Structure 1
Amino acid sequence: MTESVEPTSPESPADFEPTGGSVTFVGSGPGDLGLLTLSGARALRFAELIIVDEDADLEQVGMLAPAHAEIRLAGSDDEVGEILGAVARGRRVVRLHAGDYFTDADAGGVLPRVLSQAGLRANLVPGVNRWSAALSYGGVTTATGFAALDATLQVPAVDAWPSAETLIIRSCGSSSVAVAEQAKRRFGADGTLLSLVRVGTTRQLSEIISWDEVENTDADEVYFIVGPGIEDHHRQRLDWFEGKPLFDWRVIAPRTKDDLDPLVEELAHYGASTELVATMSIEPPRTEQGMEKAVRGLVDGRYLWLVFTSPHAVAAISERLTEYGLDSRALSGIMLAAVGRGTVEALGRLGLVPDLVPVVENTTGALAREFPAYDDLIDPLSRVLVPSADVAVEPLLVGLSRLGWEVEEVTAYRTVRAAPPPAEVRDDIKTGMFDAVVFTSATAVRNMIGIAGKPHAATVVAAIGPATAAACEIHGLRVDVTADAPTFEALAEGLARFADQRRRDQLDAGLPVTKPSQRKRRKRRKATPAAD
């Protein structure tokens, strides 16, 4: 993050001298940054200052922003002055909003005030407005258009309601009954509607009810949709969101040193909400001499190849270069190899593209098989540097040595078992409040049980491969799912297939469809006094 500078606010367009700065207002979607358009993502990629909503996920924003970008929360006393001052100093500013600026009434007054002063140096990228999002996530089609009524601030009289074949009403949960009282005057007490709560999240709930059944809730916002597109039989065919096999499943994923964000994305594709629990922490090496010598060698041109086996190795080299006042340009002229998608992405955030990534299988052993042999007639140097953890990557080292390379391994970081998760997470694991646990390695199995205990017997256990499944069984866990291939995609797909079959079995048996965490819990027996 760069150092902030006190903003200066031009008073009129005449005070706004031409600079290289600009401001782009970017909309995304209701509570979901993943609904960004390509134009919105591109604006973030080139931003120098990003101002986001106060409830935004800063970590998620940081993944889309360049490493040098400054990210701030909105809500300052003079946000307009802050934006215009940064633009006047030549900075590229992005104001990110969870929705669409022109169609969301609560997007704030910053946009018109900045547009009136910044003029042609202001841009706008549309987002997904909450009204169309409610229709899409609710699986409702509109043949002749729709009308929208925002009743979050006050409930207007029924004669002020818009007329349309389909009407979407947005309300606070606490004023739902007041909305329903007005709606009865127009649609009748027994008129049907689609009620939507927590739209677009894995905890979304949609119900077709009558206005007499509407109750106040503690939800921040509720949508009521009235129209011909809400018929129950019609929605069953279009219920693409809540019909996902893992919808509303709470999944826990123990994380070791690997990046599990791709796994979280795959599980979200099937409707699950995933919580990561760190079972391993990354610490500096016990001694610094090895890394100091290695980085000096990189700068002095001692190595022809630099091989990264994890994102942590990338971070370790980058941090050491920064300490010396250098950046990724110090690696120019050095051939780079990388193992793993997370490693490639970590290099990309530094502006680096690896020269070699395994094609057939993204492992250290595969890299050794695809690595070029040393040729003393072509290659000016024979040395390869491999910064890694305190556990040797033997297949890679042996493979490169057989190819004629002089391999130097340096401990760039250490992996140690992480501290236990919070007490409430440990309790949820042991009492079966998670619907499933996904294990991506045998180490993850051992570490999680070591710091948090065994998952409850009702929790579905999924393993990424036979070795991980064997580790589960050694620790007394029943394995319900073993992925067909050792990939995150196969692991998520296997868990989704299991959930689908479980649902079919419940329906065939005439049972209500429930999640694994919704089992009947035994009541504790009250202690009876001993007989005299």
Structure 2
Amino acid sequence: MNPTSPTTSPLSPAFAGHGHVTFLGAGPGDPGLLTLRAVEALAGADVLIAEPEVLEVVRGHARAGVSTPELTVVDEASTTAGVPVLRDAANLVMEAARGGRRVVRAVTGDPGLDGNAGAEMLVCAAEGIPFEVVPGVATAVGVPAYAGVPLRDAQGTDVRFVDARTADERCWTEVGASDGTVVVSTSLDSVAAAAGELVAAGRKPDTPLTVTIAGTTTRQRTWNATLGTIAQVFKQGKILPSPEGHRPVIAVVGERSAPAQRDQLSWFESKPLFGWRVLVPRTKEQAASLSDQLRSYGAVPHEVPTIAVEPPRTPQQMERAVKGLVTGRYEWIAFTSVNAVKAVREKFEEYGLDARAFAGIKV
């Protein structure tokens, strides 16, 4: 059987005795965009290798005890003449795989669009290390969707994708000659320069433009402008370079990003609590459901338990209370919280009692 066959799981006997690498697309930033296959691979990984911002996205689905080595560390044992030796991602991946471990190499967006991931796949192939690829939502597609900017219309608008960090003059000329939608991956301090390249290549200065930072996360923010006004909009708004590390800023150029249309389709940033930071002071066990509900409204929950539920200091207190219920000592019982109900139920189960013990008692 081909070890890279999609029908073969890295957890199956086919991989016993040697390592396996899963190149996994973590999407643009929202953990909810991880695929089912990605979650499955993370749950079975021995080693998880990713940039810090990607670790934030995938760590919650990794199994307990998974190793997360830093991408670049100082190997003091290999230091020569006082010069530290740096180990990059490919070295970390191969080292773990050679040791027979199941490795997940997670990258932003989709692995097929990540040049470094492609190079690491070639290294695996050269050494005979079995690997698989789990596609993810491409940043250049996912971010416009969260910004309320559909890239195509019913007439099949032409869509071009450009990475401003590697585009040359020929690339800008070809893109500028098109009147379709252009999706530009860039950095916040280079958006104006990219807009200038498109104008120089033939695009009209009044062509609509949207710029989105931290796309698909609750830190997302989108600006509307035109190719000719984006520099002024940023200057007036005192918008500084993005603190989002190397995560790209996505700019969408074309009529599909016109403000009138985006106002109707901006479903994410228009959530009622979008970007609000909300303190959840419930117990750790009870915070999850409230936090999930807050996230559905766009809020950022911060779980800080301010209370702890503990049993009575002396077990006899609870024993006397339960005995009083059974013997008819009490006429009323009041539960002050769901935690009190849970504690009494557990004590009932311990004594082999059930709700019939409340007969004749007002609750």
TM category (shorter chain) comes to 0.5 to 0.7
Tell me if the contact between 1:189 and 1:210 (Cα under 8 Å) persists in the aligned partners: yes
Tell me if the contact between 1:104 and 1:129 (Cα under 8 Å) persists in the aligned partners: no
3-state SS in 2 of match to 1:187: coil
User: What is the aligned partner in structure 1 of residue 72 from structure 2?
Assistant: 75
Measure how far apart 1:208 and its partner are.
2.6
Gaps of 5+ in 2: 1-14, 74-86, 235-239, 316-336, 355-363
- One of 229, 241, 255 as aligned partner of 1:218: 241
**CA distance in structure 1 between the aligned counterparts of 2:292 and 2:273, rounded to whole angstroms:** 13
Tell me if the contact between 1:246 and 1:271 (Cα under 8 Å) persists in the aligned partners: yes
Compared CA separation, residues 106 and 21, structure 1 to 2 (3 A): closer
1:102 is aligned to 2:112: yes
User: What is the aligned partner in structure 1 of residue 292 from structure 2?
Assistant: 265
**CA distance in structure 1 between the aligned counterparts of 2:259 and 2:142, rounded to whole angstroms:** 19
3-state SS in 1 of match to 2:189: helix
Measure how far apart 1:403 and its partner are.
1.9
Deviations 1:221-263 (A, max 9, x none): 4322122322333333322211212112222222434352332
Measure how far apart 1:363 and its partner are.
5.5
Tell me if the contact between 1:146 and 1:164 (Cα under 8 Å) persists in the aligned partners: no
Tell me if the contact between 1:25 and 1:124 (Cα under 8 Å) persists in the aligned partners: yes
Measure how far apart 1:107 and its partner are.
5.1
Tell me if the contact between 1:53 and 1:74 (Cα under 8 Å) persists in the aligned partners: yes
Compared CA separation, residues 52 and 222, structure 1 to 2 (3 A): closer
| 1:179-328 aligned within 5 A | 179-185=194-200, 186-215=202-231, 217-219=240-242, 220=244, 221-280=248-307
**CA distance in structure 2 between the aligned counterparts of 1:182 and 1:401, rounded to whole angstroms:** 78
**CA distance in structure 1 between the aligned counterparts of 2:41 and 2:302, rounded to whole angstroms:** 29
**CA distance in structure 2 between the aligned counterparts of 1:21 and 1:57, rounded to whole angstroms:** 21
3-state SS in 1 of match to 2:27: coil
3-state SS in 2 of match to 1:199: coil
Measure how far apart 1:99 and its partner are.
1.6
Report the identity percentage: 29
1:21 is aligned to 2:48: no
* Residue type at the aligned position of 2:278: V
Measure how far apart 1:47 and its partner are.
1.4
3-state SS in 2 of match to 1:73: coil
Q: Which runs of 4+ in 1 moved over 4 A?
A: 105-108, 153-157, 280-283, 362-367
Compared CA separation, residues 262 and 86, structure 1 to 2 (3 A): same
Compared CA separation, residues 105 and 134, structure 1 to 2 (3 A): farther
Measure how far apart 1:55 and its partner are.
2.9
* Residue type at the aligned position of 2:70: L
**CA distance in structure 2 between the aligned counterparts of 1:153 and 1:176, rounded to whole angstroms:** 14
* Residue type at the aligned position of 1:268: R
User: What is the aligned partner in structure 1 of residue 146 from structure 2?
Assistant: 137
| 1:124-523 aligned within 5 A | 124-141=133-150, 142-143=152-153, 144=156, 145-152=158-165, 156=169, 158-161=172-175, 163=178, 165-185=180-200, 186-215=202-231, 217-219=240-242, 220=244, 221-280=248-307, 393-398=343-348, 400-401=350-351, 403=353
Compared CA separation, residues 208 and 67, structure 1 to 2 (3 A): closer
3-state SS in 2 of match to 1:202: coil
Measure how far apart 1:100 and its partner are.
0.9
Compared CA separation, residues 255 and 57, structure 1 to 2 (3 A): farther
Compared CA separation, residues 208 and 73, structure 1 to 2 (3 A): same
User: What is the aligned partner in structure 2 of residue 91 from structure 1?
Assistant: 101
Deviations 1:178-225 (A, max 9, x none): 112222222222222122222112232223312222135312543221
Measure how far apart 1:51 and its partner are.
1.5
**CA distance in structure 1 between the aligned counterparts of 2:114 and 2:91, rounded to whole angstroms:** 23
Deviations 1:501-531 (A, max 9, x none): xxxxxxxxxxxxxxxxxxxxxxxxxxxxxxx
Compared CA separation, residues 38 and 173, structure 1 to 2 (3 A): same
User: What is the aligned partner in structure 2 of residue 54 from structure 1?
Assistant: 52
3-state SS in 2 of match to 1:175: helix
Tell me if the contact between 2:21 and 2:105 (Cα under 8 Å) persists in the aligned partners: yes
The TM-score, its normalising length taken from structure 2, stands at: 0.68
Deviations 1:351-371 (A, max 9, x none): xxxxxxxxxxx966777xxxx
**CA distance in structure 2 between the aligned counterparts of 1:18 and 1:45, rounded to whole angstroms:** 17
- One of 63, 66, 79 as aligned partner of 1:66: 63
3-state SS in 2 of match to 1:260: helix
Measure how far apart 1:151 and its partner are.
0.8
3-state SS in 1 of match to 2:195: helix
3-state SS in 1 of match to 2:106: strand
Compared CA separation, residues 107 and 263, structure 1 to 2 (3 A): farther
* Residue type at the aligned position of 1:149: V
Tell me if the contact between 1:184 and 1:191 (Cα under 8 Å) persists in the aligned partners: no
**CA distance in structure 1 between the aligned counterparts of 2:286 and 2:107, rounded to whole angstroms:** 27
* Residue type at the aligned position of 1:176: V
**CA distance in structure 1 between the aligned counterparts of 2:272 and 2:38, rounded to whole angstroms:** 30
Measure how far apart 1:150 and its partner are.
0.7
* Residue type at the aligned position of 2:241: D
- Relative contact order: is structure 1 or structure 2 higher (C-alpha 8 Å, sep ≥ 6)? 2
3-state SS in 2 of match to 1:55: helix
Q: How many residues align?
A: 287
Compared CA separation, residues 117 and 164, structure 1 to 2 (3 A): farther
Measure how far apart 1:106 and its partner are.
6.1
